[in-house]
Amino acid sequence: MSTEKLYQKFWNHYNPKIIAYKEKEKIESFSRSVCIIAAIGFLLLSGIHFFFTILSTLAFVGSFFFYYKLNMTREDIRKNENLLDNAHDLIHYADERERAKDYDSAIETWEELGQISEAARIRTLKAGMGAVKVAQSVVQGDQVTNTEIKDSVLNRSNVGGGSSKMQELEKLTEMKKEGLIDDDEFKQMKKEILGK
């Protein structure tokens, strides 16, 4: 997934939360104000009747409760706004670490962002890098051509690793008898062995 699409996903996830928290903040702020005003009003009326003193106390308790909830809501707003602000930079950082093949940092960043599927994708890449890849081709007897045999004999004849020219000529004669090479190839290879 591209970094811009991931950021859009974050925006779609966190922006409505921020808006909802801001609405909640307005309601809690209003509720706290109402509690404070009620507490003051009931405190003024407490001289008339004891019941108003109790209401005043309850209103003050309510105002502290809404003050606490208001602070928690504001903290949630700050936290989500910070996540949204940092998400863009963190997504680019994780992408950059992936391109640099620093898979551990990329995995850590994706997990910090809560993107477990991206972290899993990077783990799969990391595991694939450690795997040994073996490629081999099997040559069947029918696939060997006269040219390959000739090249093989010529390469050995040029190396000269301890075998005499006489031994090489004997091998060449056997190849001709077995039909692996024709007369023209035999003559060419014989010239190369003798150095003519």
- How long, in residues, is the chain? 196
DSSP letters along 117-137, please? HHHHHHHHHHHHHHS------
pTM of the model: 0.39
pLDDT band at 23 (very low <50, low <70, confident <90, very high): confident
Statement: residue 147 has pLDDT above 50: no
Taking residues 11-32, report their average pLDDT.
76
Q: Convert the pLDDT of each residue in 108-123 to its tens digit.
A: 888 887 778 888 888 8
Q: What is the pLDDT of residue 139?
A: 53
Q: Which tens digits make up the pLDDT trace of 157-189?
A: 444 455 688 888 888 898 889 888 888 888 888
Domain boundaries, the chain: 3-130, 142-194
